[in-house]
Amino acid sequence: MVDKTFYDRKDNVTLADVAKVTDSVLQREDKASLIIGDIATIKKATDKDICFFYDRKSKEAASGMNALACVTTADLAPLVPKNVVVLINDNPKLAYIKLNEYMYSLRKPSPGIDATAKIAKSAKIGKDCFIGANVVIGDNVEIDDNCRIEPNVVIEQGCKIGKRTRIAANASIAYAIIGSDCYIYSGARIGCDGFGFQLINGQHHRIEQLGRVIIGNDVEIGANACIDRGALDDTIIGDGCRIDNLVQIAHNDKLGCGCVIVAQVGIAGSCTLGNYVVCGGQVGLADHLNIGDGVQIAAQSGVMRDIEPGSVMMGSPCVPFKDFMRQVAFLQKNSTKK
C-alpha cells in the first residue's frame, strides 16, 4: 500500500526476515521463505501482504482478514483466519514499528548547501548538513553536524541547533537553543515575542521580551505551532517532548521531559509542567499554573488551578475525571425530567 513515489522500499523481504526483524515467532516454518508484498492495514491487506493485529476492537475486521501473514499476540491469534500465517509477538505494535523501519524509508536529501541559501559569514555549519533553497541563517548561528534545514526556513542571529535536528520548510527560529535529534515541523514559529504589555494611560505599552527558548533533545514541535520566548527568564521544553500541530506555548512556560501536547492546546504564560504530562487536543491552561508529573488532561479541558501529580482531569473548569463523568450523567438525567 505504501506509495513508492514517495517512499523507498526494501524488496524480497521474507517471513523469516519479518520474524527476525520484529523478534516474532513464526508459526509455520514451511512458509519462512515466502516474500511479503507490503505492510497493510487489516482491512486492506491482500493475500500478498502482512498486517498487524493488536487491538481487540479490530476483531471483526480480523475475522475477515485476507492477508498472507499477520503479526499478533498469542491471545489474539485464535481470531485470525486459518489460512493466514501467524507470527506471535508480545507487542505487535512495536513489531510494526520495527518492520516499518526495516522495510521502508523516507527519502532524505543529500548533504549540501543550496546556492540560494543566505548564510551569514559568522555562522558555523557542521558536517554533512543539508541546507535547502532560500534558507536564511543569521549572524553567529551554530548548526551542528547532520542537520537538515529545509527550504525557506529562517534562523535568526545567535541560535544554536544540535546534531541531526531537522527544521522543515517555511519554519522560523529566533532566540532559540535547540538540542539534538529534534524535528521542528513546517511553519512552526520558535522564539517569537511573548504576549507582554502593560496598560499605561490607555495604551498597551510593550514589554520587551528578553529571554530565550531552550529546547532539549529528541523533541518534536508540530506544524504551525508557536513557542514564544521568555520575557526575562527562558521558555523551556524538556527532552523527549512531543508537541503537535497548532499548539501555543507562551512565554516562560517550562515543560518537563516526555510531555505529550496534542494539537491546538494553548498554555498561557509561566506555567510549569512536570514530566510525562499529557494534554489532549484543544486543552487550555491559565497562566502561572503548576501541573504535576504524569498528569493527564482530557481534550478540550480548561485548567484554572494547579494539578497534583498523577491526576486525570476533564472539563472546563476541569475536575477529576470521575467527577466530570458524574456531572455529565447528572445533567443529562435531570435536565430531561419533567
Using CB under 8 A, which residues numbered 107 to 166 contact its own copies? 107, 114, 116, 118, 132-134, 136, 140, 150-152, 154, 156-158
**Span near its own copies by CB under 8 A; candidates 34-42, 59-67, 75-83, 289-297:** 34-42
What is the contact mask toward its own copies in residues 197 to 236, using x (rule: CB under 8 A)? xx-x-xxxxxxx-xxx-----x-x-xxx-x-x---xx---
**Span near its own copies by CB under 8 A; candidates 20-28, 60-68, 74-82, 168-176:** 168-176
What is the contact mask toward its own copies in residues 52 to 91, using x (rule: CB under 8 A)? ----------------------------------------
What one-character DSSP code corresponds to residue 307? B
Q: Among candidates 192, 121, 186, which has minimal Cα distance to 149? A: 186
CA dist., res. 306 & res. 321, Å (int): 15
Cβ-based neighbours of 12, under 8 Å, separated by 6 or more: 35
Q: Which C-beta is closer to its own copies: that of 15 or that of 152?
A: 152
Residues 271-330 that bind its own copies (CB under 8 A): 281-282, 284, 286, 299-300, 302, 316-317, 319, 323, 326-330
Tell me the catalytic residues: 251
CA dist., res. 37 & res. 46, Å (int): 9
Q: Which C-beta is closer to its own copies: that of 32 or that of 192?
A: 192
Q: Which C-beta is closer to its own copies: that of 33 or that of 97?
A: 97
The per-residue DSSP string of 128-167 comes to: T-EE-TT-EE-TT-EE-TT-EE-TT-EE-TT-EE-TT-EE
Q: Which amino acid is at 317?
A: P
Residues 237-256 that bind its own copies (CB under 8 A): 240, 242, 244-246, 248, 250
240 and 203 in contact (C-beta within 8 Å)? no
What one-character DSSP code corresponds to residue 109? P
Q: Tell how strand 260-261 and strand 242-243 pair up.
A: parallel
Measured from the Cβ of residue 139, the count of other Cβ atoms closer than 10 Å reads 11
Supply 35's cell numbers. Answer: 516474500
Q: Which C-beta is closer to its own copies: that of 28 or that of 329?
A: 329
